[in-house]
Amino acid sequence: YVADEDLQSELDDVLGPGVNRRPQYHPIRLNLKKGSLWVQDGRAYHRGTPNRSDRPRDELCMAFCRPWVFNNWLHEYTESHLPRKLWDGLSSHAQHVLRWQRVKKP
């Protein structure tokens, strides 16, 4: 669901109007509050809304897959993005769950 009509027209320019070939599925807007959790199938079309504030809007995005899907070569060439200070403050359990995250070097 796109709340901004200008963004909707831009999306139509990219994808074409009426890309949903199953009309029984209607877009649903999620009005999530700070701290909410949203789980989705990554193959589904989705988008956010513009951040019109002067402050960043952080988001933690995690993807899970079967071990045989993981590509170690690709992983080695991705950018480290998790701040070391944040990593060091995590519990051992949290570090285990996030063990494949690319942590910035100190």
pLDDT in tens, 13-50: 655 555 555 556 677 778 888 888 888 877 777 777 78
pLDDT in tens, 90-106: 999 999 988 888 888 88
User: Does residue 2 or residue 68 have the better pLDDT?
Assistant: 68
Number of domains the chain contains:
2
- Structural domain includes residue 103: no
Residue 102: CB partners within 8 Å, gap ≥ 6?
Answer: 75, 78, 79, 80, 81, 82
- Structural domain includes residue 104: no
Tell me, yes or no, whether 42 and 6 share the same domain: yes
Tell me, yes or no, whether 33 and 76 share the same domain: no
- Structural domain includes residue 37: yes
- Structural domain includes residue 46: yes
Specify whether the backbone of 39 is left (phi greater than 0), alpha (psi in -120 to 50) or beta. beta
Q: Are 49 and 3 in contact (CB under 8 A)?
A: yes
Tell me, yes or no, whether 72 and 55 share the same domain: no
- Structural domain includes residue 53: yes
DSSP conformational letter for 54: S
pTM here?
0.42
